[in-house]
Structure 1
Amino acid sequence: MRSVIPQCPVVSAESSSDDIAEFVVIDVETACSSVSSICQIGIVGFKDGREVFEYESLIDPLDRFSSFNTRIHGLTCDHVAGAPTFATVHATIAAHLSGRITVAHSFFDKGALAAACRVHDRTPIETTWLDSVRVAKRAWPDLPSHRLNVLTKFLGVRHKHHDALSDARAAGYVIVRAIEHTGIGLAGWLLPAHTRGRQSPKSAAVGPLKGERIAILGAARDGMLANRLAAAGARIVASVGLTTTKLVISNEQPFGRYVSAHADHKRADTLRRDGKAIEIVSEDEIIASLLRTG
């Protein structure tokens, strides 16, 4: 598990420092099933991997509070008594988002913002949207879930789930960490994803792993580990299936103690319980075995 990110000094929304933000992140909470019923909003600006401003506000949604939504975020009509309406804060939100790259964890927030603008007769906010769920799925495709609370545990980010400001900050760090992890800059994440199928290395004709069908968890199937196993005769497969004989857990796997929650690991466990001849071994174990046989 990576270390927890400390709280960075931020600049208040009243200053002009948000003008230097490279991207902004927004999160909203809603009062009921009406997507326009925004009752809390949080916005955080990021520049060079750090926070440069934050803005948050409770909002009177001029709508009912459902018990379902209250159970999620804890907010009721009492919390927003005397709070501004969306129409009142619209200009502030627009000033932070307009003409910038705006991140949201899924596009629920995008839809809520657009709906609130319609309901409250305010001008739509023009911004370039980036979905941090899509970014996370590309950066860490093998994670069992890309929900924000799962990602923050994986990344070691302090987070209070369903608090708008905390959710916005957390989604911002998903982008920061994805850039660090992949080397893809912000502009690259805005481009459409072009997936290119990886080719497994060709299996050697002979070797101690001849006849083995091996799936690798946590490393590319055209990477160094895959090539070493293929050179020993193994056939490298894309995922665990009925004919897989080994699941090898890479030393570089990014899942930490959550590795057993990965779909391939759970599939291998199920096959073992059903009596199939499949082993789950670490990279160190299989390499040590090759060294003994070599």
Structure 2
Amino acid sequence: MKFPVSHPLPSSADITPCEEPDFVVVDVETACSRVSSICQIGIVGFRQGSEVFAYETLIDPCDEFSTFNIRIHGISPEHVAGKPTFSDVHSVIAGYLGGRITVAHSAFDKGALGAACRLNGLAAIETTWLDSVRVAKRAWPQLSSHRLNVLSRHLKIRHRHHDALSDARAAGMVIVRAMEETGIDLQGWMAKPGKQGKAPPAAEQGPLKGQRIAILGAGRDGTLAQFLAGAGARIVSSVGATTTMLVIGTLQPFGRWVAAEEQYRKAEELRDAGGRIEIVTEAELRLRLEAIRPL
């Protein structure tokens, strides 16, 4: 396997204002089963959907190489002879990642960097992590696997698996394509779902009496839930075998993005299997109820 020439830059100070990334992506390869044994690292910066800088270097892990790992990435002790150690490039890595949003495909790379810092007595790299596996599972739930090579084939991304720089580029493009295809921006992907409040109690009477309704795109304690409960519905936390209706909130973009949501897929599966669940938008349901009684 031919490896690219290392492209070290002294620090993020070399990045011009027009190249300041929206996020950076990191990927590492390791020499053996010890996650601290980093033997290659690739970092790519993305701004407005395009690559603005890249950094790659082989690293002498000061550790043994297992035949299993060599078979995976093709890096052997001969490749890292005379290359910098992790301590040598720690400040460069920190310069790229520190204070930014850092994407990695799974938690492995985060754990490897943390372990290498601890092993070498170096300061932890302070960054805000975003897992591109989590993003991919939500953006393309229909895929049976969300491994990087599978995603690259699905999205037609050029990719050489288990090369750190190529893996970093591919994971970055996963984020770019997920934003394009779902309409969810970077901050939206960074947001952690908050705990929902308690659902309002169902009114004793109303046109939705007996309905068990799950809501997509709004909280169980929001105005839509209050409206539905006021019409007699019981609000449930998620779609299940006894759910009779999935209501898609007005704030939830309708179309193929809705089809990517897990609750929507569950409702479709139940309906296709003969279940008595109905999928309806908030607007449609309000019109239906208005025809029954003035609101």
TM (norm. structure 2) is 0.64
Match of 1:63 in 2: 63
Q: CA deviation at 1:121?
A: 1.1
Q: Spell out the pairing of 1:7-156 with structure 2 (5 A cutoff).
A: 13=9, 15-17=14-16, 20-156=20-156
Q: CA deviation at 1:238?
A: 3.4
Over aligned residues, Cα RMSD in angstroms? 3.0
Q: CA deviation at 1:143?
A: 1.2
Q: How many residues align?
A: 209
Q: Which amino acid aligns with 2:146?
A: H
Measured in 2, the distance between the counterparts of 1:30 and 1:200 equals 50
Contact kept in structure 1, 2:25 and 2:102, CA below 8 Å: yes
Q: Which amino acid aligns with 1:187?
A: Q
Q: CA deviation at 1:17?
A: 3.2
Change (3 A) 1:184 1:55: same
Contact kept in structure 2, 1:139 and 1:182, CA below 8 Å: yes
Q: CA deviation at 1:12?
A: 8.0
1:244 aligns with 2:273: yes
Q: Which amino acid aligns with 1:48?
A: Q
Q: CA deviation at 1:193?
A: 3.8
Q: Which amino acid aligns with 1:57?
A: T
Measured in 2, the distance between the counterparts of 1:79 and 1:91 equals 22
Q: CA deviation at 1:192?
A: 1.4
Stretches of structure 2 that go unaligned for 5 or more consecutive residues are: 1-6, 195-214, 217-237, 247-255, 275-295
Change (3 A) 1:121 1:180: same
Q: CA deviation at 1:83?
A: 0.3
Measured in 1, the distance between the counterparts of 2:128 and 2:27 equals 15
Q: Spell out the pairing of 1:151-170 with structure 2 (5 A cutoff).
A: 151-170=151-170
> Could you say what secondary structure the match of 2:162 adopts?
coil
Measured in 1, the distance between the counterparts of 2:149 and 2:22 equals 24
Contact kept in structure 1, 2:24 and 2:97, CA below 8 Å: yes
Q: Which amino acid aligns with 2:158?
A: R
Q: Which amino acid aligns with 2:45?
A: G
Match of 1:188 in 2: 188
Measured in 2, the distance between the counterparts of 1:240 and 1:59 equals 52
Q: CA deviation at 1:244?
A: 3.0
Q: Spell out the pairing of 1:213-224 with structure 2 (5 A cutoff).
A: none
Change (3 A) 1:26 1:121: same
Measured in 1, the distance between the counterparts of 2:257 and 2:191 equals 24
Contact kept in structure 2, 1:13 and 1:54, CA below 8 Å: no
Contact kept in structure 2, 1:221 and 1:238, CA below 8 Å: no
Q: CA deviation at 1:92?
A: 0.2
> Could you say what secondary structure the match of 1:25 adopts?
strand
Q: Which amino acid aligns with 2:268?
A: A
Q: CA deviation at 1:173?
A: 0.3
Match of 1:171 in 2: 171
Contact kept in structure 1, 2:39 and 2:60, CA below 8 Å: yes
- CA offsets 1:171-214 (integer angstroms, 9 cap, x no match): 00000000001111111111114694478769xxxxxxxxxxxx
- CA offsets 1:247-283 (integer angstroms, 9 cap, x no match): xxxxxxxxxxxxxxxxxxxxxxxxxxxxxxxxxxxxx
> Could you say what secondary structure the match of 1:238 adopts?
helix
Measured in 2, the distance between the counterparts of 1:47 and 1:170 equals 15
Measured in 1, the distance between the counterparts of 2:260 and 2:162 equals 39
Contact kept in structure 1, 2:8 and 2:56, CA below 8 Å: no
Measured in 2, the distance between the counterparts of 1:189 and 1:221 equals 18
Change (3 A) 1:144 1:16: same
Measured in 1, the distance between the counterparts of 2:110 and 2:188 equals 21
Q: CA deviation at 1:240?
A: 7.3
Change (3 A) 1:101 1:237: closer
Match of 1:7 in 2: none
